[in-house]
Structure 1
Amino acid sequence: MRVGYVRVSAVDQNTARQLDGIAVDKTFTDKMSGKDTDRDQLTAMLGYVREGDTVVVHSMDRLARNLGDLLTLVQDLTARGVRVEFVKEVLTFTGEDSPIAQLMLSIMGAVAQFERAMIGERQREGIAKAKARGVYTGRKPALSQEQARELRARAAAGERKTALARAFGISRDTVYTYLQTSAPALPVDTRPLPDTAVSDQLLTRPRGAQASAPATEQAGTVAPASRVAPVPDPAPRRPVTSGSRRARWTTPGKPVRELVTVARDPEWGGYRVTDRDGTYLGTIQRQTKTSGKGRWQGHDEHNQLITPGLWNTVDDAVAGLLQHHLDRDTRRAATAR
């Protein structure tokens, strides 16, 4: 079977010309950057092909813009008995290639990587010059504020992420970015600062004791006693703290799935991890790169990779994610002292 792979960098770019006139039985198309191999359709293609198949790509830079990724992908496919054919360069790799063919692969891959680096450098130079002239306003948002609110509402109602991406004309990655981003904050100079003095006393005073007023209302002005409103006793439910979380998560012999909620996302095949109080903790997903293929890696709520980054099972990865949060709580507590 001849399997085509097509990649363009933007959603609105035309994909038809890449394999125009080339006979293929099935085509996988990505509309995203080739800076790495974390691409949905590339992963699907790698899982689809079998020994004896041929993967047809318009050019090397369509498969990867990084020399290391290009070499790894070609070697992984040919090791499985899959031929790789590049139309533009008129090169085919089978795993039994001559040293000259391997040299050409390395040279052309290095050129693709160099081109991407030059594109980035020219872009940075252009932005710097535009900023100096005062004409740079940054990239236009993919969605307006009204569209972003509608997207969040439809996602909260249970609509699939793929359907949302298609409806708004954006990628799934952009959908997740908007879902993880809250509404725009107020400007720093006008943002109201919360008065936490009373709530701090509620958490620390003996039960039944009367809370006192904040020491000052303005710099150097003591608040009149007559203006201090009585504060009711706090509700019995205590807020979740890092200490109580540590006590729950470090219960000996308790499986991790009884400590937190681990829910599979059928669209991208990974897992979302939330605490029992609904706090979002991060994600667990299967590694697709050759170096750790088939193993699991975790990202916290800020999309930071958890290290060490590979585990054999989902439960081990969840345990690593929880340990990451506990270690971070410990560092924050030490800094606060």
Structure 2
Amino acid sequence: MAVIGYKRVSAKAQHAQLQEDALSAAGCSKVYEDKASGKNAERPGLLAALDYMREGDTLCVWKLDRLGRSTKDVLTTAEVLHAHGIALRILTGTLSGTYSPKGEGKFFFTMMAAFAELERDMIIERTHAGLAAAKAQGRVGGRPSVITEDVLTVAKARKAKGESITAIAKALEVSRATLYRHIG
């Protein structure tokens, strides 16, 4: 009976060291990882973990939202695990412990999965509200544009003379996509 870990971070630039440490402390003999958004259906690390595991094994995750953000997705994964005789252990959060799809345990797990999805939706809502408030105050997020008014004037003049976007981009040391975005 093996304890197999699964960790997931939402962006390629994020690191899962906290999850890694917790899974190691929980005695996971092998850990699978995905670097993808929870809403992303493509999770090769989770699929590999599920393929590797056998009846009697335990899938261990740091927190419920690492398994998936959609209530349906989390419950479907939990049911697949149970159908194959694989336990689900959650290390932290309100639902820490081992998942049992029976009676009160199933009801509690379903409610926690719904709350995890609600939390994700609220984070998205707050993020969008914050971005809208910043935009209303004239602040714009993201990296500063490499296209200044001078560069744009030069680019438009070269384009008017019939020079290709590729040649202009190379000469001005900007990407073709950036030029297309600014001069069409």
The answer to whether the superposition gives a TM-score over 0.5 is yes
Distance verdict in 2 for CA 1:6–1:188, change over 3 Å: closer
Paired with 1:189 and 1:65, the residues of 2 have a C-alpha distance of: 37
Aligned counterpart, 2:166: none
Q: Does structure 1 residue 63 correspond to structure 2 residue 67?
A: yes
Gaps of 5+ in 1: 145-181, 192-337
Q: 1:3–1:55: 8 Å Cα contact kept in structure 2?
A: yes
Offset at residue 32 of structure 1 (A): 2.1
Q: 2:7–2:62: 8 Å Cα contact kept in structure 1?
A: yes
Paired with 1:188 and 1:93, the residues of 2 have a C-alpha distance of: 50
Query: Aligned pairs, how many?
Result: 149
Distance verdict in 2 for CA 1:103–1:128, change over 3 Å: same
Query: Which aligned pairs between 1:160-309 and structure 2 lie closer than 5 A?
Result: 183-184=176-177, 186=179, 190-191=183-184
Q: Does structure 1 residue 84 correspond to structure 2 residue 82?
A: no
Q: 1:8–1:31: 8 Å Cα contact kept in structure 2?
A: yes
Paired with 1:190 and 1:2, the residues of 2 have a C-alpha distance of: 56
Amino acid at match of 2:107: L
Give SS of 2:32's match.
strand
Offset at residue 189 of structure 1 (A): 7.8
Q: 2:99–2:109: 8 Å Cα contact kept in structure 1?
A: no
If each structure's helix is expressed as a fraction of its own residues, which one has the higher value? 2
Identity %: 36
Q: 2:32–2:45: 8 Å Cα contact kept in structure 1?
A: yes
Aligned counterpart, 1:227: none
Give SS of 1:50's match.
coil
Amino acid at match of 1:134: G
CA RMSD between the two structures: 2.4
Paired with 1:113 and 1:189, the residues of 2 have a C-alpha distance of: 38
Distance verdict in 2 for CA 1:131–1:60, change over 3 Å: same
Query: Which aligned pairs between 1:112-191 and structure 2 lie closer than 5 A?
Result: 112-137=116-141, 139-140=142-143, 183-184=176-177, 186=179, 190-191=183-184
Paired with 2:127 and 2:119, the residues of 1 have a C-alpha distance of: 12
Give me the TM-score of the superposition, normalised by structure 1: 0.41
Give me the TM-score of the superposition, normalised by structure 2: 0.71
